[in-house]
Amino acid sequence: MAVGSSAKRAPIQVPCPWHREPMQRLLDQHAQGRLPHALLFAGAAGIGKFRLAQALAQALLCERPAAGLACGECDGCHLSVAGTHPDFQTLAPEPGSNTIKIDQVRRLLEFAGRTAQYGGARVALIAPAEGLNRSAQNALLKTLEEPGEGLVLLLVSDQPSLLLPTIRSRCQQRHLPLPPGDQALAWLTPQTGEREAAALLAAAQGAPLRALGLQDADWFAAREQLAGQLVAVARGRASPAQAGQVLARQDPRVMAGVLYGWLARAAVLAALSEEGGEEGGEADPATVTDPKVEPLLRELAGQVPPIRLLAAARRVMEGRRQLLAGANPNKELLMEQWLLILVGVDASASGF
């Protein structure tokens, strides 16, 4: 019976190595009938939450899951991998949109009211859950409270704070942390080469799948120049307005995440050198750093007190949240306001 079956093996989703254990625990809970009917996988972007949710969905629909994975050989696996399993629904923004609309949720509600066609679990996967607009979230509430027979709802979100509290409270939230640096590097290195792996992982603030996506990013290629702008402002070699213009050539939503990471790292370095007076940095060997950017962040840390670096980081984070919620400010002014904090000027008490 093994003959031929391997040729038809469906390419099932495998979770990232750091999610194998959480996955096994979820399947154990399912086997014991204790799996919550609504799970919210939350955590930083690019750590593999969606893969985990997909792998779990496939394993729940599989007739013979083994070793913490779907088997890839049964009818359930072939249908779920092909996207045609009648007991599996995926909700994602339609092409060209970044929101999940109420009509899509209505289709899900119909699905929720039916019974399983294959007699096993039924699964709905909603990602990114923060893409549900307000009316879509409201429409989903009742199903989260009383899902149909055997229905498991899997929600995936980088920004769970954008979900209605009533949505969050009806799900069991699983916060998935960043993987340990060594595990992330071991996964990344064969795909990017050893030289790039650490730089990419540092640039992605420890999120391995995001790191992989950065290989072709403009800002990543220009990162020395961009981080150098922070140092130039701190040293008085460039005005916040001049540096803001350079930074504004990048997508501000991307740049906000990058700047936040740099400022937060510089704040740590500044605090370490204030405390110990030693070289700093040696105290946290677990942190993966980018050899091209790290010296610049050290220089920044030597120029700006940690409290100011943190204030700037906080402001950038607020701005990022507003940008992700759809705000569309003047890019140069936005960057300038962030940079002004480095020289001790908090220019914006309002909005950004």
Nearer to Zn ion, 77 or 136 (CB): 77
- Draw the binding track, 237-276, toward Zn ion (x: CB under 5 A; -: no contact): ----------------------------------------
Residue type for position 285: P
Q: Are 288 and 185 in contact (CB under 8 A)?
A: yes
**Does 14 contact Zn ion by CB under 5 A?**
no
Nearer to Zn ion, 77 or 258 (CB): 77
Element (H, E) at 263: helix 252-276
In whole angstroms, the minimum distance from the beta carbon of 232 to Zn ion comes to 57
Contact 30, 38 (CB under 8 A): no
Question: Can you state the percent helix, strand and coil of the chain, rounding each to 5?
Answer: 55, 10, 35
Taking the complex as a whole, the smallest distance from the CB of residue 43 to Zn ion amounts, in Å, to: 27
Distance CA 142, CA 133 (A): 16
For residue 21, the minimal CB distance to Zn ion (Å) is 21
For 2, counting Cβ atoms within 10 Å of its Cβ (0-12 exposed, 13-18 middle, 19+ buried), the class is exposed
Closer residue to Zn ion in complex, CB, 82/286: 82
End-to-end, the C-alpha distance of the chain in Å comes to 64
Which is closer to Zn ion, CB of 79 or CB of 340?
79
Interface stretch with Zn ion, choices 36-44, 55-63, 212-220, 331-339 (CB under 5 A): 55-63
Tell me whether residue 75 or residue 145 sits nearer to Zn ion (CB atom).
75
> Of 54, 34, 50, 32, nearest to 42 (Cα)?
50
Q: Following CA atoms 152, 157, 162, 168 in sequence, which dihedral angle do they give, to the nearest 10 degrees?
A: 30
**In whole angstroms, how close is the CB of 61 to Zn ion at the nearest point?**
8
- 172-175 vs 38-42, strand pairing mode: parallel
Tell me whether strands 88-91 and 172-175 are parallel, antiparallel or unpaired. unpaired
Q: What are the strands of the beta sheet with 122-126, ordered from one edge? A: 88-91, 122-126, 151-157, 38-42, 172-175
Q: For residue 318, what are the contacts with CB-CB under 8 A and spacing of at least 6?
A: 352
Q: Least Å distance between CB 298 and Zn ion?
A: 52
The contacts of residue 1 (CB under 8 Å, 6+ apart) are none
Nearest distance from C-beta of residue 70 to Zn ion, angstroms: 5
Beta carbon nearer to Zn ion, 77 or 100 = 77
Nearer to Zn ion, 77 or 340 (CB): 77
Residues 6+ apart with CB under 8 A from 279: 273
CB of 71 to Zn ion, least distance (A): 3
The least distance separating Zn ion from the CB of residue 63, rounded to whole angstroms, comes to: 5
Written as one letter, the residue type at 160 is P
Q: Give the DSSP H or E segment for 174.
A: strand 172-175
Number of residues that bind Zn ion (CB under 5 A): 5
Work out how close the CB of 13 gets to Zn ion at its nearest, in angstroms, rounded to a whole number: 12
x/- map, 56-85, Zn ion, by CB under 5 A: ------x-------xx--x--x--------
H-run or E-run covering 13: none
Q: What residues line the site for Zn ion (CB under 5 A)? A: 62, 70-71, 74, 77
